[in-house]
Amino acid sequence: QPRQATSHGGLTALVGLSAERILVADKVAAAKFGTTSPIEDPAREQVVLDQAASLAAAAGLDVEETVAFFRAQIESSKLVQRGLFDLWTAHPELAPTERPDLATEVRPILDRITGQFIAELSATERLRGRTVRCHVSLVAAERSADRRYHLDRLHERALWGAIEPVCTD
């Protein structure tokens, strides 16, 4: 559980959630590839950001910072989706053979992760300053997530982007 992991691992659980969300982008891409659903859906992004803002306010987190953090998660998801679309277009034999349903199967996973992010952002609030300690902790957590989630270069790059706003409290 994220809360438990935090007490031992600094930013490990928070960065792990980012990695999990980035891996869900593969399912998002699979849901959209070969359909008319675009990678970028501004209306859905607004829903995600509004939900994050209201949960942040309820948790006593800085709303603007929290929204900026979620914007980074969304940009990383689109980076992965674009990378996979390019790969699958160039190598159709690598394209997924099953298409999950975006609304009923994939977005609910992202919504669950949103709630977990809020809990983890709260649990790590004091660590997330513009400090050396935060950056050291962030790099360690990123390396551990690369290994734990077996991230390839595309997903690793996405993870770096997603965690960029972590040490800005």
Chain residues in the site for ligand ISJ (CB under 6 A): 28, 40-41, 44-45, 48, 73-74, 77-78, 107, 110
Which of 110/118 has CB closer to ligand ISJ? 110
Which of 6/66 has CB closer to ligand ISJ? 66
Q: Which residue's CB comes closest to ligand ISJ?
A: 77
Question: What is the nearest approach in angstroms of ligand ISJ to the Cβ of residue 77?
Answer: 3
Question: What is the nearest approach in angstroms of ligand ISJ to the Cβ of residue 50?
Answer: 12
Question: What is the nearest approach in angstroms of ligand ISJ to the Cβ of residue 45?
Answer: 4
**Residue environment code for 67-86, b if the CB has 16+ CB neighbours within 10 A, otherwise e:** bebbebbbebbbbbbebbbe
Question: What is the nearest approach in angstroms of ligand ISJ to the Cβ of residue 150?
Answer: 21
* Torsion 54-24-122-66 (CA) sign: negative
Rounded distance between C-alpha atoms, residue 157 and residue 107, angstroms: 22
H/E element, 123: helix 107-123
